[in-house]
Amino acid sequence: MSWPPLGRTWPVADLHLVDAPDVTWRVERTSPPLVFSKISPIDAAGGAGGAGNRFDVPGAGVLYTATEPGGALAETLARFRPSADLILQMNEHPDDGFPPAGLVDPSWVAMRRLRSIRLESPLKFVDVDDPRTHTYLTKHAARELLGVGVKNLDVAVMRGAERRVTRALAAWIYSQIDDRGNSLYSGIRYTSRLGDYECWAIFDGTQASVASETRLEGHTAVRSIAAAFDLTLG
């Protein structure tokens, strides 16, 4: 017996689209608010460890937020995590005057705010963690994937350190328009590489505003993330 039965076909995989929450969160400087991340084509072509962020689009702007305050804080504070090589150096040379590992400068904390962000009539977001999206992008963005050395998409590729892949796909998603030339999507829904945090890469053209803000000092989520990353907020 053949499968599927004669006369029937498998359903065709499509992009998995989701709605963003009414409010998301981000950590940013006190002023100006809502600065969209931008990257040059040269920097976008760089791989892991290069300039820019995971879903940056050359010639466009991307605003990064998270569903929960903890996700926004984790994405921002991760840069201060003590690295293995620094810890080893400090252990082997305790008298060399190293600053305390994981110390976040008080001035950095004072100049940041945790803000809730509200979107006005956003379009759907592409869920890049869903296997249906992987199948669809492998088929329809094949040229972009092969250009960065990827033959098949999966979660490991999407959450990997090679930013050329995620940037190429972000650019493809950003460029999709309808018959009237209107954008099809407001951005990308993804899971943080730092933990089970739901995050959003919001494309420019989507109207965003600050709904509320609070200082970082003493916030419950700040204490939780600092403890998880072994940080001391000065």
The whole model's pTM is what? 0.89
Q: How far is CA 233 from CA 10, 52, 107, 108, in A?
A: 54, 25, 10, 9
Query: Of the ranges 49-53, 146-150, 157-161, 224-228, which one carries the lowest mean pLDDT score?
Result: 49-53
Is there a contact between 200 and 107 (Cβ–Cβ < 8 Å)?
no
List strand residue ranges (DSSP E) for 23-108, in order.
23-29, 62-66, 103-104
What is residue 107's predicted lDDT score, i.e. its pLDDT?
A: 93
What is residue 1's predicted lDDT score, i.e. its pLDDT?
A: 46
- Write out the two tokens for 67: 């569903």
What is residue 85's predicted lDDT score, i.e. its pLDDT?
A: 76
Residue ranges of domains in the chain: 17-233
What is the DSSP secondary structure assignment for residue 5, as one 8-state letter? P
Q: Which of 25-29, 93-97, 226-230 has the highest mean predicted lDDT (pLDDT)?
A: 25-29
Q: How far apart are CA 77 and CA 93, in angstroms?
A: 26
pLDDT tens-digit series, residues 80-139: 988 787 777 766 766 666 666 788 999 999 999 999 999 999 999 999 999 999 999 999
- pLDDT at 217 exceeding the cut of 90: no
56: confidence class by pLDDT, cuts 50, 70, 90? very high
